[in-house]
């Protein structure tokens, strides 16, 4: 495996990962983003030029993006998110090692969440963007992998039963069906969805449906047919259409290659939308100040966590070491401790809950903030990132707290 080199500061906002043969290939520089970074730097007051830290850049581009909702700052942030995205994808794909869903597929599944990550990220809450994004990306990859695997091994009946109108619609559209055909397939599926219940828990295929099931479904289809002006059907036709739906649904969940670079192509024209120089350097100064405040905040949070951790009993500390430091699974820990997996899980949760309690109390008492979902999600990302650093004793590239 080729390990990507850490990018220099400014390059983190202008380069994109190039994955070759499901491996890291190289960093590719986007010229318009590079020009934009150069231009920003040329606007710095002289004493700033050498010491503008990465996190201040993140804050700068994130602030600018929030204010303007423009493409340019967003693409700078996309570039920055390449690393957490790559590391999440790399870690998970090497762990699960499935041929049908490799590094590039994982990377893509995660990267599709970028906009949600940028929206959900609140710089005031502690974790750095890369820590916050790392967790969101890992969740996205897990979901995509599980989904892909489940859909490939799911039976025909389960696939149809568990699908939504919206998802089927997308699958049929992606498959390139005409609108008429889409409507027919949708109606066939609706008739199935409303009237099907398995004859046994082992029922799997459309073939195993009883004649009375087809009669009920056909009756329902006929109702829809009148409303929507669809062609007449028979039991056999219904079955054929449903079989097609199954195929399209399976195709839809399989990873589809989409070039990430293609979406970056239109960056060039964006350069003109930059604000004029004086304002830009103002936001940079503010960003730097904000970044300093955030760092203080993070130091406080670290201190709170440190004191919370020191109050945990040795058994709980040991578990956290196994789970976060040594990256063992719960099963592996259970073997190590000659215990049961459910006991390990419960103990691990008790330890996490104790630390989360300390954090929540601190946010409530010191920051006087109400703990909304966004705050809590930032907090868990922060906790997990901190625990990893704390117990692995090293700063991984993808965990920079």
Contacts to another protein by CB under 8 A:
96, 116, 119-120, 139, 142-143, 145-147, 149-151, 153-155, 158, 161-164, 166-167, 194-202, 210, 216, 219-220, 223, 253, 323, 329-331, 342, 345-346, 348-350, 352-353, 356-357, 360-361, 364, 370-373, 376-377, 380
Nearer of residues 287 and 319 to another protein, judged by Cβ: 319
Looking at the Cβ atoms of 210 and 335, the one nearer to another protein is 210
Contacts of 43 (CB under 8 A, 6+ apart): 277, 280, 281, 284
In angstroms, what is the minimal distance from the CB of 80 to another protein? Answer: 20
Smallest distance from another protein to CB 96, Å: 7
Nearer to another protein, 194 or 289 (CB): 194
Give the residue with the Cβ less far from another protein, 67 or 119: 119
Q: Indicate the residue among 60 and 62 with the shorter CB distance to another protein.
A: 62
Q: Please, what is the minimum distance in Å from the beta carbon of residue 93 to another protein?
A: 13
Please say which residue, 156 or 400, places its beta carbon nearer to another protein: 156
CB atoms within 10 A of CB 227: 8
């Amino acid at each position: 495996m080729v390990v990507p080199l850490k990018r220099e500061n400014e390059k983190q906002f202008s380069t994109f990962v190039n994955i070759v043969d499901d491996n890291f290939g190289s960093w590719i520089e986007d010229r318009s983003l590079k020009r934009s970074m150069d231009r920003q730097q040329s606007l710095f007051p002289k004493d700033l030029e050498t010491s503008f830290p990465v996190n201040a850049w993140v804050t700068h581009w994130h602030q600018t993006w929030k204010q303007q909702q423009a493409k340019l700052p967003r693409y700078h942030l996309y570039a920055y998110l390449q690393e957490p995205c790559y590391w999440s994808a790399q870690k998970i794909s090497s762990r699960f090692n499935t041929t049908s869903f490799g590094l590039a597929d994982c990377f893509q599944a995660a990267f599709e969440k970028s906009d949600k990550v940028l929206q959900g990220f609140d710089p005031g809450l502690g974790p750095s963007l890369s820590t916050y994004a790392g967790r969101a990306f890992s969740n996205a990859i897990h979901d995509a992998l599980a989904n892909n695997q489940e859909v490939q091994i799911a039976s025909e009946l389960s696939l149809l039963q568990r699908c939504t109108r919206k998802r089927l619609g997308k699958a049929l559209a992606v498959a390139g069906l005409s609108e008429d055909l889409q409507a027919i397939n949708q109606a066939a599926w609706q008739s199935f969805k409303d009237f099907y219940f398995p004859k046994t828990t082992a029922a799997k295929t459309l073939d195993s449906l009883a004649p009375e099931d087809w009669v009920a479904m056909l009756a329902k289809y006929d109702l829809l047919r009148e409303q929507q002006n669809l062609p007449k059907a028979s039991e056999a036709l219904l079955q054929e259409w449903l079989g097609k739906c199954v195929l399209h649904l399976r195709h839809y969940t399989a990873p589809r290659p989409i070039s990430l670079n293609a979406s970056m192509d239109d960056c060039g024209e964006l350069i003109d939308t930059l604000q004029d120089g004086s304002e830009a350097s103002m936001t940079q100064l503010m960003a730097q100040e904000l970044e300093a405040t955030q760092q203080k905040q993070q130091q406080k949070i670290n201190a709170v966590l440190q004191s919370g951790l020191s109050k945990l009993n040795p058994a709980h500390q040991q578990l956290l070491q196994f789970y976060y430091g040594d990256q063992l699974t719960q099963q592996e820990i259970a073997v190590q401790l000659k215990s049961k997996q459910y006991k390990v899980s419960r103990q691990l949760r008790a330890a996490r809950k104790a630390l989360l309690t300390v954090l929540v109390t601190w946010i409530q008492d010191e920051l006087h903030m109400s703990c909304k979902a966004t705050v809590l999600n930032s907090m868990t990302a922060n906790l997990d990132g901190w625990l990893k650093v704390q117990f692995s004793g090293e700063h991984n590239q993808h965990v920079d707290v």
